[in-house]
Structure 1
Amino acid sequence: MIAMIGAAIAPGIAILSYFYLRDSLEPEPISMVIRSFVFGMLLVIPIMVLQYIMQNEWNWQGGLVADVVQSAVVEEFFKWMVIFFTAYKHVEFDEPYDGIVYAVAVSLGFATLENLFYLIINGLNIAFWRALLPVSSHALFAVWMGYYLGRAKFSNSRKKERTFLWLSIALPIGLHALYNAIFLSVQNWIVVIVPFMLLLWWQGLKKVQRAHEYSSKKLSSRPQ
């Protein structure tokens, strides 16, 4: 059981540590990051209950549209809501890169507890693939979410803020939906998912670099 718990939490902690340590300008309080991670974990049960109701009470079973709504829309929307109300409005969210830190923390909290449940049900033999695909994909969807939340928070007009807020929820849902569609619609999915994940990492790291540059400009413009 200890090995299973370790295998479930290690990928999330490792990926979160990477994105947290990239915040070299003005790192967030570790207590805030842990809090966001815990909030993400707390989302798992209500989301699972809602998905169960959608599948069994509302009879939304099977099909690409049902899967997209139950997984991509529900999960990314609730993660976005938690980030918006617990981090976006917080005083510690004081530079653009912070959006990525908090979004990744919430998403990996969710992915880590979800991963533990999957390993308990299916065993340790799937731990490597769970770390490589679902856990890391949750983090990468969160990079896009956090990047645009950071742009929204420090935009210079209400119109730009609304646009970036819209992008911060729409793009992660779209990426998550595409990720799910690959598994549902492509017979030899491994041929497609590998380049898709590589593209996600490449674009995600570019977003990290851009957010870091925006943060550097933001901090340098502060009164001394």
Structure 2
Amino acid sequence: MDFMSGDDTDPVQTANDEPDLYGITTWEKRSRLDSLSVGIYWLIVRTGQAVVILLALATILAIGGLSVLTDPVIGTLTAASALPALVLAAYVWQSDVTSSEPPSLLAITFLLGIVTAGFAAVLNGILQPIFATLEFVGLVLFFYLVVGPVEETVKLLAVRLYAYNDDRFAAVIDGAVYGAVAGLGFATIENAIYISRAIGDIGGLTLGLDLIGIGGDITATRALAGPGHVVYSSFAGYYLGLAKFNPGNRGPIVVKGLVVAAVIHATYNATAGLGTALIRDATGLPELLAFVLYVFGYVGFFGYLLYRKLRRYRRAYLAGLTSDGNAIEERQPDAGPE
């Protein structure tokens, strides 16, 4: 059953042949007051967006998130750690058969993915001690009730703040592309923070052999986390795109996407340690290699589901092409985890 009726016309519009129902059951910008109202609404929306972005920037600066990138060692390791996530985000971008997304929107979404990560860092830091009192059960609850929902929400916020409102966000699949880019931004700053802390714990590194040895181990570990962020937020972003083109059910669709992304994300966090231990004990592999196998299996599985979702969209889009190569209007199938 639809959350809202697909027919949003007033009964008067349906039953009345009067061609002009302006101010009765329809509305459009006509008078100076109408124009003023449109302008005020635009200003309120843009001011709200600016406040959220400035607050996010202030938050990430307050926790030292951006300052870590000014260190050449941390910057080098962070860039290396983000490469797998970058490759995966590039694949999602390449999978968009409708049109190539503008670099400006991609760059802004990436930067917003970085700054909105500060919200997640603060909320996670505040709430983790509360759940820690419940030990193992608390840790699992923390992943499912805080980490997954909060991190996927702030990544989706990075898309919703700017790219979503742009006319060039013109297809459902665009949501997956911008979601992937937001996930890349989030993963990049998260890696930078983790790498900075790890280097601080061992007393620092230099741009010499330490960077190749110890730094390589830290970077390899963080590089495994990035692709997951891209996959999770691609799912949420896809549903955000679906919501944009199905306004009658926008709220439930967005919620569905967030639930899918948050559960996949939280399950990874909750099972990574156990899964790695089981692989290590069964194969005798070192801890790091066992972890690599687990990540490849888990993220690879959901990456495959994302691939299927993007492929179904591609097939539906191509099937909707007319003989002269122009796409028809209805090209927004739903696929993937239900």
Question: Contact 1:96 / 1:214 at 8 angstroms: preserved in 2?
Answer: no
Q: Distance in 2 between matches of 1:4 and 1:163?
A: 40
Cα displacement (A) at 1:13: 2.7
Asked which structure has the greater CA Rg, the reply is 2
Deviation at 1:185, TM superposition (A): 4.9
Residue 173 of structure 1 is matched in structure 2 by: 262
Between Structure 1 and Structure 2, the one with more helix by share is 1
Verify: 1:103 aligned to 2:179, yes or no: yes
Which SS does the other structure have where 2:131 is aligned?
Answer: coil
Structure 2 stretches lacking a partner, 5+ long: 1-72, 199-214, 280-289, 330-338
Q: Secondary structure at 2:176's aligned position in 1?
A: helix
Letter in 2 for 1:141: Y
Q: What pairs with 1:1-224 in structure 2 (closer than 5 Å)?
A: 1=73, 3-56=76-129, 59-61=130-132, 62=135, 63-122=139-198, 123-132=215-224, 134-155=225-246, 158-159=248-249, 161-186=250-275, 187-188=277-278, 190=290, 193-216=295-318, 217=320, 220-221=327-328
- Partner amino acid for 1:12? A
Does the 8 Å CA contact 2:172/2:241 hold for their aligned counterparts?
yes
Aligned 8 A contact 1:148 1:167 in 2: yes
Residue pair 1:108, 1:139 contacting (<8 A) in 2 also: yes
- TM-score when scaled to structure 2? 0.58
CA displacement 1:142-168 (0-9 Å, x = unmatched): 22112222222223x613x34422211
Distance 2:171 2:314 in 1: 9
Q: Which amino acid aligns with 1:145?
A: A
Aligned twin of 2:58:
none
Q: Percent identity?
A: 24
Opposite residue 6 of structure 1, the aligned amino acid is: A
State the one-letter code of the partner of 1:73. P
Any gaps of 5 or more consecutive residues in structure 1?
A: none
The 1-side partners of 2:100 and 2:182 are apart by 17
Determine the structure 1 residue equivalent to 2:37. Answer: none
Name the SS for the 1:220 alignment partner: coil
Paired residue secondary structure (2:227): helix
TM-score (norm 1): 0.84
Separation (CA, whole Å) in 2 of partners of 1:130 and 1:144: 22
Ranked by relative contact order (alpha carbons within 8 Å, sequence separation 6 or more), the top structure is: 1
CA contact 1:80–1:145 (8 Å) conserved in 2: yes
Shift of 1:194: 4.1
Flag the 1:171–1:79 CA change in 2: closer, same or farther, 3 A.
Answer: same
Give me the whole-angstrom Cα distance separating, in 2, the residues matched to 1:194 and 1:21.
Answer: 22
Distance 1:91 1:35 in 2: 15
Question: 2:243 and 2:306 mapped to 1: Cα distance?
Answer: 18
Distance (Å, rounded) in 2 between the aligned partners of 1:52 and 1:173: 18
For residues 27-59 of structure 1, what are the alpha-carbon distances to aligned partners after superposition, in whole Å with 9 as ceiling and x for unaligned?
Answer: 111100010000000022232122112134xx2
How many Å separate the matches in 2 of 1:16 and 1:194?
16
SS class of match (2:256): helix
* Distance across 2 between alignment mates of 1:66 and 1:127: 26
CA contact (8 A) 2:82 2:223 kept: no
By how many angstroms is 1:169 displaced?
1.0
Amino acid across the alignment from 1:117: I
Q: How many residues align?
A: 217
Cα distance in structure 2, aligned partners of 1:162 and 1:212 = 25
Which residue identity does 2:96 align to in structure 1? D
Task: Classify the secondary structure of the residue corresponding to 1:60.
Answer: helix
- Aligned-partner Cα distance in 1 for 2:97–2:156: 25
